[in-house]
Amino acid sequence: MDFTPQAGADLVDINLYREPASQNNEARIRISSRNVPTLSDLLPPFTAFGLEVIDERTDKARHGEELIHEIDLGVRAQCASLWGNPSRDQRALDRNLIDAVRAVWSGDCESDRLNTLVVTAGLTWRQVSWLRAIAAYLRQTQAAFSLPYICDVLAAHPGLGSLAVAIFEERFDPDRHEGSATPTRRDLEDELAAKFLGQLDDVASLDEDRILRSVLAIIQATVRTSAFQHADDGNFRPRISLKIDPGRIPALPQPAPSAEIWVYSPRVEGVHMRFGKVARGGLRWSDRKEDFRTEVLALAKAQVAKNSVIVPTGAKGAYLPKHLPPSNDRDGWLREGRETYTEFVAGLLDVTDNRVGADVVGPARVVRHDHDDPYLVVAADKGTATFSDHANEIARSYGFWLDDAFASGGSQGYDHKAMGITARGAWVSVERHLLELGVNPSVDEFSVVGIGDMSGDVFGNGMLLSPHIRLIAAFDHRHIFVDPNPSTAVAFKERQRLAELPRSSWADYDRTVLSDGGLIVDRTAKSVALTPAAITALGLATTTPSLTPNELIRAILSSEVDLLWNGGIGTYVKASHETHADVGDRSNDSVRINADQLRVRAIGEGGNLGLTQAARVQASLSGIRVNTDAVDNSAGVDTSDYEVNIKIALATGIDEQNDGSQDRAQLLSSMTHDVAEAVLAHNYNQNVLLAMEVHRAAENLPVHRRLIRQLTDSGHLDPKLDTLPVESELALRETNGQGLVCPELAVLMASAKNSLKDALSNTQVCSDRAFAATLHRYFPTSLHQAMPAVVNKHPLGNDIIINQIANDVINYAGVTAIYRAIEETGAQVDLVVKAYLTAIEVFGHRQLMDRLKSEHTALPPLLIASVRHEGQRLLDRAARWFLNRYPSDFSISNVVASTQNRIATLRRGEPDRLVGGERDRFERNVIAFEAMGSPADLARIGAAYLDSYVLLDIVEIADDHRLADNQVADLYHYASEQFRVDYLLTRVSLLPRQDQWDRLARTALREDLYGVLSALTRTVASASQHGSGTQQDPRQLFDAWESSTNHLSVRARRTVSQVCLEPRPALGAISVAVRSLRALTQAA
């Protein structure tokens, strides 16, 4: 059978023929080619088809002006009657075999044992490629079976291989069932799957059974494929994409992403996985042939934690070029890497929906077994730092709706290095650590060692963020820098020069400005002679005359300085119980130290993975200030997300732009400062929240334990993968009065935010009109001014709102706030969140927190923590008040509009309204805040902040009884003082809270006390309205009412007085006092 191939520059023609005397399993294949392959290249592909080459004839012929080599091969099949079986379609067999040979020859089809299915099962090479793509994915999901063995198993069972192809076609062939995932299509697929499972009974080997079942499971878990798409020339592409729901595949390594796209071709393999419909993360160039999916899974999981502060959840991708030229061919190596990146990215887009106007449109010739899914955003990563513009060109060639928002960081986006945004974000963490250690980096000198050099984005920008840095030592992959006693100003100026010098290294540092004994060493040196000054600066033994470069790096990492600043690539600190193999960074095994060797006071992680999570925990337990890399360097991904969302807005509002792309670029650039400020605010809020959680970690450990269990059950935490303590260790810490440490709390914070976002996405919370302001607050003001309509119709509007409110509530109210409120009240999550947000707005909490942020370098950390703690307590109580008053569909805007100004007015007069014990306590609190270093006005705000909770009751009573707010306030506080309610409330706060039930009992008793005081005030107000003196002094109103209560008031006063004799009355005693007061409310 003759044909002319469509591809393959060397191949001219192929034909298959049989000689008259041939056996039924023999045939001849004539190949016409411009070049003569060697036998070692020529024979293996035919062996892979299950054919034995029995002889070779060669000749030459003219083909036009070209000299063509003709290779005539005699082949013999294992099947004795392959070409003499009347039950087989001989023409189809011949055509499939020739097509497959041509595909292998041209590189469109790989050569392995799966190709025997062309002969034994009558499959086309394309159908075999489907199975090969599935087999390659299966190999990446487990370590038990090699890819050759998986292929051998499929080849050994041609009937099951053919049936797997039939299932795949029934599930995905767009020419059937009108191209839709209809019930009929599903029924027919189920019938074929049942037949497949039935035939597995004849498979004797358990391993083979497992492999074949896994192939079926992958097909059934695949929700889309590009297998039936055509290239521009009408032929099938060699590239095959499978969009898979990993949750449907049994025994897959955990955690299971919500979706992943597997891209296979003879040239490249790659995977992109994500943990939500709206997700983002980088695409990296991997070199891990056997397990790059494992690499991506770990990175994607880490990205989930980092992305808790932004709209998308975590995603990650990697591709593996399969035929790179030798590494000494640098240009060819880079060219192949870029071209395979192109194929990988195109493969992702092949199965991704698009937006056309307001409609979501599926990709051509793709049967979709899932919902609309148009959000696909990627970023640069290891090996792909310069590929963003290229990725956007690919997206543009597909007409993809995100255009150059598809890959952030391109030439038409925010330049992270120019902004210094990742370093600035991590520096927020450094600043918080140092302030808590009594060092103000804006005025005080502090010592630093670091990983990186001044040409690097994170290290270089970071080392220019304070002129008071004393950089003692640093290293990168080329050099080691030691400046034992730097002149701060001179060294800062020299670092500025290096940062501005293109492609600089430590070798370019001006040695004349090094302090005495300074060193700049090439890491290839055999040995480094140490100066006395260097020995002293690094805290080495005076008997240490020299070190190898690797030993010197370990000495730098373990030196006693204020800050370790990581701006490099690699993992340099592990926990003492971990092995280097556990770390998975062999290139740095020789310089890595254990966490118990660290002597720094704080660590800033501008780079990723500088420490293992176990190392962070061990360092934190020893007193070192450290967060996680996900917290410290989130500003980069945060900026990229802003870029994407702003570009989406600009694309949505294209009609509002006055003049094409130039105005768009100018507008995007004009928002740079606003974006940076918003991103850095996120870093600040997370750092302050973590500081708050650390301060009360021991007392909050019981609720942290319950939250960990809840997040584990919901799949948002895996204590083992996330390096959290097991239950036995948590119990031991609780017994010893210890809590979670900062790196552990950072994981808990991220998981709590992600869990809350997921929960809110399944509600109608965004329908509250108050959140229009939330959406507007997210975007820079200049965008509203230039294009006022684009924000309201943003395609990701709801996702942005949910991200903002989840972060706001947890940042302001605490990691456990929402969990505790749901646990205690049983309310739905959306109602709880609305209650907290209402409290934030009603009490102007956001404005007070903004003030603390603006003055954070001038205010002592303990003062900020104390004021914020009062704010958290206020939000907790106010949120429960709203939960008890309003239905789930209440309007935040209406409540805020009717309450906010009245609360603010009452708060200004509250301190002067207090009497007796309440006033004494307020004045003691003011003195305490001033002793912490608070300005006088802030001390008064902090002292009265929690007490302003009662203003909600006061306003409600005033409305119900149609009285003036201030009159009810006066009456409320007078009644409180008469029955010493404030004293009782303070004693409730002293009750034990060793477990959940203690906490619930305290909360219930506190709410009873507030409820009784409110009822008493109502009773007195009601009695006064029946008389003629509604404007009387509160004392007169109260006395008139009390005279009518007979013995009940006397009994209540006596009971309360007796309880108040105890400095720490028990729960039972306070309960009796509450009961006596409640009886008074019924006296009328």
Helix (H, G, I), strand (E, B) or coil at 868: helix
Q: Return the exposure string of 877-913: e unless at least 16 CB atoms fall within 10 Å of the residue's CB, then b.
A: bbbbbbbeebeeebebbebbeebeebbeebbeebbeb
Beginning with the edge strand found earlier in the chain, give each strand of the sheet holding 51-63 in spatial order.
Answer: 2-3, 11-17, 26-33, 66-77, 51-63
Read off the amino acid at residue 481: F
| Residue 124: partners with Cβ closer than 8 Å, 6 or more residues away | 96, 99, 100, 118
Residue 723 contacts residue 767 (beta carbons within 8 Å)? no
Helix (H, G, I), strand (E, B) or coil at 517: coil
- Residue 996 and residue 70: Cα distance in Å, rounded? 85
- 1081, two tokens: 């409310």
Residue 131 contacts residue 154 (beta carbons within 8 Å)? yes
399 phi and psi angles, rounded to 5 deg: 65, 30
- Residue 877 and residue 894: Cα distance in Å, rounded? 20
| Residue 86: partners with Cβ closer than 8 Å, 6 or more residues away | none
- 93, two tokens: 């067999």
- Token pair 């490629």: residue: 129
- 445, two tokens: 């000198």
| Residue 443: partners with Cβ closer than 8 Å, 6 or more residues away | 468
Q: What is the dihedral of CA 481, 483, 484, 487, to 10 degrees?
A: -160
Residue 568 has what DSSP assignment? Answer: S
Read off the amino acid at residue 50: G
**Polymer length in residues for the chain:** 1084
**Helices H / strands E in the chain, number of each:** 43, 24
- Residue 561 and residue 600: Cα distance in Å, rounded? 5
- Residue 464 and residue 441: Cα distance in Å, rounded? 12
Q: Return the exposure string of 601-626: e unless at least 16 CB atoms fall within 10 Å of the residue's CB, then b.
A: bbbbbbbbbbbbbbbbbbbbeeebbb
Other C-beta atoms closer than 10 Å to the C-beta of 129 total 26
- Which residues are registered as beta bridge partners of 356? 359
Report the chain's terminal Cα–Cα distance, integer Å: 107
In this structure, the strands spanning 240-244 and 222-225 are antiparallel
- 242, two tokens: 């499978």
Q: What is the DSSP string of 1023-1044?
A: HHHTSS-TTS-HHHHHHHHHTT
Which residues are designated catalytic? 316
Helix (H, G, I), strand (E, B) or coil at 315: strand
Helix (H, G, I), strand (E, B) or coil at 181: coil
Give residue 1067's region: left, alpha or beta (phi > 0; psi -120 to 50): alpha
- Which residues are registered as beta bridge partners of 313? 279
- Token pair 């302003």: residue: 948
Q: Answer whether the bond into residue 255 is a cis peptide, omega within 30°.
A: yes
Give residue 843's region: left, alpha or beta (phi > 0; psi -120 to 50): alpha
Q: Return the exposure string of 530-548: e unless at least 16 CB atoms fall within 10 Å of the residue's CB, then b.
A: beebbbebbebeeeeeebe
Query: What is the greatest pairwise CA distance in the chain?
Result: 127
Read off the amino acid at residue 852: L
- 211, two tokens: 């492999």
